[in-house]
Amino acid sequence: MSLLRDIWGSATRLPIAVLVWMLGILVPANLGILFFLGEPVSLVVAVLALGALAANGVVMVVDRGFSNAMALPHVALWVPLAAVLLHALVVRDDVTGGYAAYLEAVLVVNAISLVFDVRDSKAWLDGERATF
Q: What is the mean pLDDT of the chain?
A: 97
Do 103 and 85 form a contact (C-beta atoms < 8 A)? yes
Q: Answer whether residue 1 shows pLDDT above 80.
A: no
Instruction: Report residue 14's pLDDT band, with 50, 70 and 90 as the boundaries.
Output: very high
- The verdict on residue 132 lying in a domain is no
Determine the Cα–Cα distance for residues 98 and 121; give it in Å rounded to an integer.
Answer: 33
Cut 0.85: pTM above it: yes
Residue span of the structural domain in which 109 resides: 3-125
Residue 130 lies in a domain: no
Domain annotation covers residue 80? yes
Q: For residue 14, what is the DSSP state?
A: S
Mean pLDDT of 57-76: 97
pLDDT digits (tens, 9 = 90+) for 19-32: 999 999 999 999 99
The pLDDT score that the predictor gives to residue 7 is: 96
Do residues 39 and 97 make contact, with C-beta atoms less than 8 angstroms apart? Answer: no
Question: 3-state DSSP call for residue 131?
Answer: strand
pLDDT at 70: 97
Stated length of the chain? 132
